[in-house]
Amino acid sequence: MVPAPGESFHSDSIDLPWAESWSGDPRIQLKVLMVDVEGGRYAVRMRFRAGLQAVPHKHTGEVHAYTFSGKWTYLDYADSPPNVAGSYLFEPPGTTHTLKIADDAGEWTEVLFVLYGAMLHLDESGAVIGVTDAEAVLAEYRQRLIDQRMPIPASLPIGGRMAYRPLGIQHPQE
């Protein structure tokens, strides 16, 4: 059921499908909980395999992260404690860092991220080589599910000022 304007939205994150090989990396999975394209924010659950090191990136808006399992750090902040199950992390806008999943993190490190604005992917010189924002996350999630021959959840919300509405279910071609 989709709420009327002004109502809250509930997302059953357990039943949502994982998009595999997120950003082309088989060590990353993602499920979209909410996308607000107009407001430039989104919420995702991500799973990472032990040992993964992401490319450096910079956030244009704030980020909230809650770790469900595993262990991860930012290589750029040696004094920062590792994020483990039950950890909450706040990142202010403008921060640049390199996410590293611990080699001994177990099968999956799972994290909930609530992101505002865009994530700018950087090369070794600091030049922007890619951008991820709410619209890009929604588009890739849909495409990954189609590629996996999975239905797109009818409850996947998009919206913001225009109220939440279902994305609609699409079944991949047989």
Q: Which CATH number fits domain 22-152: 3.40.50.300, 3.40.50.720, 3.30.530.20, 2.60.120.10?
A: 2.60.120.10
- pLDDT of 172 above 80: no
d(CA 48, CA 30): 9
User: Could you give the count of Cα atoms lying within 13 Å of 134 in the half-sphere of its Cβ?
Assistant: 22
Q: What is the pLDDT of residues 54-107, one digit of tens each?
A: 999 999 999 999 999 999 999 998 888 999 999 999 999 999 999 999 999 999
d(CA 27, CA 93): 27
d(CA 21, CA 55): 15
Q: How far apart are the first and last CA of the chain?
A: 28
Q: What is the pLDDT of residues 23-64, one digit of tens each?
A: 899 999 999 998 888 889 999 999 999 999 999 999 999 999
- pTM (two decimals): 0.86
